[in-house]
Amino acid sequence: MVSSALGFCGRCGAPIIDASESFCSRCGNPIVAPPPVATGYSYPVVPAASVPAAQHKLSHLQLLASAGGIIAVVVIALTVILVVVKPGTKACHFSCGPSTGTRLLSPTAYTSTQFNFRVEYDSSSLKLGQQSATSVDLQAANGDGALHVAGSNGSNVTNAIQTAVNSIDSNTFQNIQQIGDIPGAQIGFVQGQGVALSAQLVPSDGSGQATPVTIMVMAASQNNVTITAVAFGAMDTSSAELLPFGLTSAQTFDFALTNTIWPGS
């Protein structure tokens, strides 16, 4: 049986079999014994029972309550800061609207004493005619038609338009035909409804020839007050600017209807 080598000769490399050998059996070189191998050191383990448990002045529930209170204080402080500190003024760009202020009133206007609406008009193009507590007649200064504006209680716009159409004098306006609905009908910027009619205007004295005219009937309602407007004027379907209904005095009447001020406005 071959024993394992304990080391090797530093000169010739011959294996050292016997630990008691002082010289190499091959070359006679003195053999120095290797230093002993150091054993690993480990710290002594203290038994867990001998270590005292950590001590706390507050219980687990008390710690949770304290943490919750601190969070609540922080939230309240942030809320107060956000409310008190106002954001700075932002620069106004193209998306900003115009500055608003008190509306400028026209010096020429009719005011309904019963329904408190106001109709402003241009005195150079319209002349004040008959008026009452509920209605007013505005006549075109050039003689081309007239505008009648009246107020009533209620909010049934369709019924108001039909009542106005039925009230048109059939002796003065003959052969009345409906042309169509008025798109985007408004009175004082309040959306409403409207209908356009064609008719033959017969002179009141019976003399002369009947004239083709356009009649426009519109109505709008706000806060249980309905305003109805009936306008008529000469019909001219040859001008593209007057289409689709051909009312020659449309712009004159539109100014008054646009500048109608509702009660409370």
- Is residue 125 located within the same domain as residue 241? yes
Identify the CATH number of the domain in which residue 231 sits. 3.40.1000
248 and 120 within one domain = yes
Is residue 147 included in any domain, yes or no? yes
Residues 119 and 234 in one domain: yes
Q: Residue 144: what residue type?
A: D
* 253 closest CA partner among 174, 176, 186: 186
120 with 238, same domain: the answer is yes
The Cα–Cα gap between 136 and 148 comes to: 6
Residues 13 and 119 in one domain: no
Helix then strand count (H, E) for the chain reads 3, 13
| Structure-token pair, residue 259 | 């500048």
Residue 162 lies in a domain: yes
Instruction: Let me know whether 232 and 123 are in one domain.
Output: yes
- What pLDDT does 54 receive? 56
The answer to whether position 117 is within a domain reads yes
Same domain (yes/no): 128, 234: yes
Task: Kindly provide the b/e burial profile for residues 73-101, where b requires at least 16 CB atoms within 10 angstroms of the residue's own CB.
Answer: eeeeeeeeeeeeeeeeeeeeeeeeeeeee
Residue 114 confidence (pLDDT): 97
**Do residues 18 and 144 share a domain?**
no
Residues 23 and 131 in one domain: no
Q: How many domains, the chain?
A: 2
- Looking at residue 113, its pLDDT comes to 96
Cis upstream peptide for 244 (omega within 30°): yes
pLDDT of res. 3: 57
Residue 238: predicted pLDDT: 77
- 85 is a domain residue: no
Residue 160 domain-assigned (yes or no)? yes
75 is a domain residue: no
Are 139 and 125 a contacting pair, CB within 8 Å? no
The sign of the dihedral angle between the CA atoms of 166, 171, 175, 180 is negative
Is 246 in the same domain as 115? yes
Nearest to 230 by CA among 259, 202, 263, 194: 194
Torsion of CA 66, 70, 73, 77, to 10 degrees: 170
13 found inside a domain: yes
Are 130 and 146 in contact, with CB atoms under 8 Å apart?
Answer: no
Per-residue pLDDT tens digits of the chain, which is 265 residues long? 455 666 777 777 777 777 677 777 777 777 766 656 556 566 666 566 555 655 555 566 666 667 777 787 777 877 777 666 665 555 555 456 566 555 555 678 999 999 999 999 999 999 999 999 999 999 999 999 999 999 999 999 999 999 999 999 999 999 999 999 999 999 999 999 999 999 999 987 777 788 999 999 999 999 999 999 999 999 987 776 767 888 888 889 999 999 999 998 8
Does residue 124 share a domain with residue 22? no
DSSP state string for 47-61 = PGGGSPPPP-SS-HH
Same domain, 246 and 160: yes
Instruction: Determine contact, residues 194/257, Cβ cutoff 8 Å.
Output: no
Full domain range(s) for residue 10: 1-33
Give CA–CA dist 139/150, Å, rounded. Answer: 15
The answer to the question of residue 66 being in a domain is no
Whole-model pTM: value is 0.61
Backbone angles phi, psi at 116, to 5 degrees: 60, 25
